[in-house]
Amino acid sequence: MEARRQRGPALTEVSATRSVAAGGSARSCIVLDRVSLRFQSERREVQALSDISLSIAEGEFVALLGPTGCGKSSLLRLVSDLLAPTAGTIAVRGEPAAAARRLNQFGFVFQEPALLSWRTALGNVQLPLEVVGYPPDKRITRCMELLNSVGLPKFKDAYPHELSGGMKQRVAMVRALAWNPPILLMDEPFSALDELTRGQLQDDLLQLWNRERKTVLFVTHNISEAIYLADRIVVMSPHPGRIKTILSPDLPRPRTDEMHETQDFLKWIRMAREALQS
């Protein structure tokens, strides 16, 4: 059972500077230039991504929306240098993706929490700090601060099997933020959760994003989730994966649960659905 916790008012989320993202006047954080990716599987060659060009601003929240097989997960792995593109270039804050990875600029969150079962919640959040060379005396403080921010201070000594699905994903989320990387890469992070928990985690994420000022690249196949969270939505089509269109919902921030029923929100849902189906 999800321990329902006191949720602070979402008012801390300020939206004043967010709208610059759509204009492209802000400093570019991630730039993909005519990126293609081909996989050589045993029998045939698979074109996973074809001719992707995209520029993401510093501090922008971008959702990659598309059906399974459109290569959106591969795109995250290209940006974070876990995969190398077959063609095209990727620049992260003016440097190649590999350099950005060496500088620990990416925090990765997956669909599965992917926690270490033999480490406590605190130990799991601490894992990346041990790798990136975070000052040892500040590790615990930093981890506790993060666990506090997602309402899990009481569960710091709990092992993953003692946590609910939502709690585990919260731990995975703050693990990806532990060393304060500027870029957060999220691969359908909430798709395995139930509706209610998903809503809570979406709000948690928006608060974290606002407080820690991250650039977020968020993969999802859920239209409503994309619109609720993102500044811009990159709609993709499969076989081969390419960008169909980019939507910039000008919904006000902070975003609240009630927004899901507004005319504006529904209008953007409709537009996204049409873009996906066209």
Partner 1 sequence: MSDATSTIQNRLRDKILPPLIILALALGFWELSVKVLDIPPWLLPAPSDVVDRFFKTTMLWYHTGLTVLEALAGFVISAVLGVSLSAGIVHSRFLERGVFPYVIVSNAIPIIAIIPLLTIWFGFGIAPKIMICSIISFFPIVTNTTRGLKATDRRIIEFMRSINATRSEILLKVQLPSALPFIFASFKIAASLALVGAVVAEFYSSDRGLGYLIITSATQLRTDLLFVAIVVLAALGVSSFMLFGYLERMATRGERTEETR
Rounded to 10 degrees, what is the CA torsion of 179, 28, 247, 97?
-60
**Shortest approach of partner 1 to residue 225 CB, angstroms?**
20
**Shortest approach of partner 1 to residue 128 CB, angstroms?**
5
**Shortest approach of partner 1 to residue 263 CB, angstroms?**
39
Nearer to partner 1, 76 or 152 (CB): 76
Nearer to partner 1, 151 or 181 (CB): 181
**Shortest approach of partner 1 to residue 185 CB, angstroms?**
8
Nearer to partner 1, 129 or 233 (CB): 129
Name 112's Cβ contacts closer than 8 Å, sequence gap at least 6: 192
Nearer to partner 1, 9 or 133 (CB): 133
Task: Report which residue type is found at 138.
Answer: K
**Shortest approach of partner 1 to residue 103 CB, angstroms?**
8
Nearer to partner 1, 162 or 264 (CB): 162
Beta carbons within 10 angstroms of residue 39's beta carbon: 14
Q: For residue 28, what are the β-bridge partners?
A: 57
Q: Any idea which residue has 């040892």 for tokens?
A: 136
Contacts with partner 1 by CB under 8 A lie at 77, 80-82, 101-104, 106, 108, 110, 112, 114-118, 127-128, 130-132, 159-161, 175-176, 179, 185
Nearer to partner 1, 35 or 115 (CB): 115
Nearer to partner 1, 110 or 228 (CB): 110
Q: How far apart are CA 207 and CA 198, in angstroms?
A: 14
Confirm if 64 and 217 have CB atoms less than 8 A apart: yes
Ramachandran class of 130: left when φ > 0, alpha when ψ lies in -120 to 50, beta otherwise: alpha
> In what order do the strands lie in the sheet containing 87-92?
45-57, 28-40, 87-92, 95-96
Q: How far apart are CA 86 and CA 210, in angstroms?
A: 35
**Shortest approach of partner 1 to residue 194 CB, angstroms?**
16
**Shortest approach of partner 1 to residue 96 CB, angstroms?**
14
CA distances from residue 113 to 158, 225, 250 in whole angstroms, order as listed: 15, 19, 31
**Shortest approach of partner 1 to residue 37 CB, angstroms?**
16
Nearer to partner 1, 175 or 232 (CB): 175
